Amino acid sequence: MAVTNEMLSSFLDTDDEWISTRTGIKERRIISDETLLELAVIASTNALENAKICAQDLDFIICSNVVNNFVTPALSCIIQGKIEAKCPCIDLNGACTGFIFALDMAEAYIATGRAKNILIICAEEPSKIVDWQARDASILFGDGAGAVVVSAGDNLKSIHLTTTCSVEPLYYKRQLEHNPYNQEKNNFQPLVMCGKDVYKLAVSSSTSDIRKVMADAQITQEKVAYYLLHQANFRIIDTIREYLHESVEKFQLNVQKYGNTSSASIPILLDEMNREQKLKKGDMLVLSAFGAGFTSGACVIEW
Is-contact 54 48, C-beta < 8 A? yes
230 is catalytic: yes
87 is catalytic: no
Q: Which amino acid, one-letter code, is at 29?
A: R
Is-contact 140 18, C-beta < 8 A? no
Residue 145 backbone phi and psi in degrees, to 5 = -145, 145
Q: Which of 96, 117, 122, 299 is catalytic?
A: 96
Question: How many Å is the Cα radius of gyration of the chain?
Answer: 19
- What is the number of alpha carbons within 13 Å of residue 124 lying toward its C-beta? 33
In angstroms, the Cα distances linking 122 to 28, 60, 166, 200, 295 are: 17, 14, 23, 25, 16
Is-contact 300 214, C-beta < 8 A? yes
Alpha-carbon torsion, ordered 40, 41, 47, 53, to 10 deg: 150
Q: Which of 122, 160, 260, 299 is catalytic?
A: 260
| CA dist., res. 86 & res. 88, Å (int) | 7
274 is catalytic: no
Q: State how beta strands 89-92 and 117-124 pair.
A: unpaired
Q: Which of 65, 117, 160, 230 is catalytic?
A: 230
State the distance between the two ends of the chain, measured CA to CA, in whole angstroms: 32
| CA dist., res. 272 & res. 72, Å (int) | 31
Catalytic residue positions, numbered: 96, 230, 260
